[in-house]
Chain A
């Protein structure tokens, strides 16, 4: 498998975060180019890879997680959380999860 996938978990409930708006941008262009816009499903994933295998290529990408709209915490630390990363080898799969609460955000290259 190649391309980009993500998975959003709410660390305050220990459950997947569903209905969260996520966008994927190509940030090698100026301004960035919107490649995909979707929402997480009840498993906290997107129904289809946010960058499908057929579109996998080297480049600089950015996922944007619209956590503010979801948590609606008046004092939330972040509104939209960008995660900017490179696909340095298009033959690899890039799984980039987001673990979050209104005041905590963690991401990593997963598998």
Chain B
């Protein structure tokens, strides 16, 4: 019971956070500065259950406890012996690409690379790190085998670690 009571307001907060951002923009600068720092949750959880086959990505910054908004990702496909750039995407307010990386006709079996510009991301965040940093350009290489199945790719990263997995 107690945990339900605690969870419900949190869920409402997710739903309302978009509105709160709009309100914050209307407040005087002083009021905005007093707002406690909190993980950026620009929108609520996104449910992908039942959607058509596609490749989606979600990048989270574990150093700041927030969506990796602004993270640049070069998305490439292995052609012969080298990875050929398909396009570069930037993680949106929710840490996702605005559009799926692959969907419909473009969702083809093959080997793909997401090159995460982690160095550029933490430089912009003014994180104090060695030069060069431990992680600079992080390649995440995945294989799409069955295009009848959707692949969601959550990536959690910090300046000293990263994790990726098959999600849903």
**Chain B hits for A33, CB < 8 A:** none
| Contact A108 B161, beta carbon cutoff 8 Å | yes
**Chain A hits for B137, CB < 8 A:** 84
CB proximity of B71 to chain A, nearest CB, Å: 16
| Contact A86 B132, beta carbon cutoff 8 Å | yes
Bitwise, B116-144 to A at CB < 8 A (1) or not (0) is 00000000000000111111111101110
| Contact B166 A77, beta carbon cutoff 8 Å | yes
**Chain B hits for A80, CB < 8 A:** 141
A74 at the interface (CB under 8 A from B): yes
Chain A: residues with Cβ within 8 Å of the partner, total of: 23
Say yes or no: A79-B134 contact (C-beta < 8 A), given A103-B165, A106-B163, A108-B161.
no
Smallest CB gap from A102: residue in B? B166
A19 at the interface (CB under 8 A from B): no
Bitwise, A79-111 to B at CB < 8 A (1) or not (0) is 111101110110000000000000111111100
**Chain A hits for B133, CB < 8 A:** 86, 88
Say yes or no: A79-B141 contact (C-beta < 8 A), given A60-B132, A86-B132, A88-B133.
yes
Say yes or no: A75-B146 contact (C-beta < 8 A), given A60-B136, A84-B138, A88-B131.
yes
**Chain B hits for A75, CB < 8 A:** 145-146, 149
In whole angstroms, how far apart are the Cα atoms of A78 and B138 in the complex?
15
Show the binding face of A for B, using Cβ within 8 Å. Answer: 60, 68, 74-82, 84-86, 88-89, 103-109
Show the binding face of B for A, using Cβ within 8 Å. Answer: 111, 130-139, 141-143, 145-146, 149, 151, 160-166
Top 4 A-B residue pairs of the complex, sorted by shortest distance between their CB atoms: A108-B161, A106-B163, A103-B166, A104-B165
19 pairs across A/B with beta carbons < 8 Å?
Answer: A74-B145, A76-B143, A77-B143, A77-B151, A78-B141, A79-B141, A79-B143, A84-B137, A85-B134, A86-B133, A88-B130, A88-B131, A104-B165, A104-B166, A105-B165, A108-B160, A108-B161, A108-B162, A109-B160
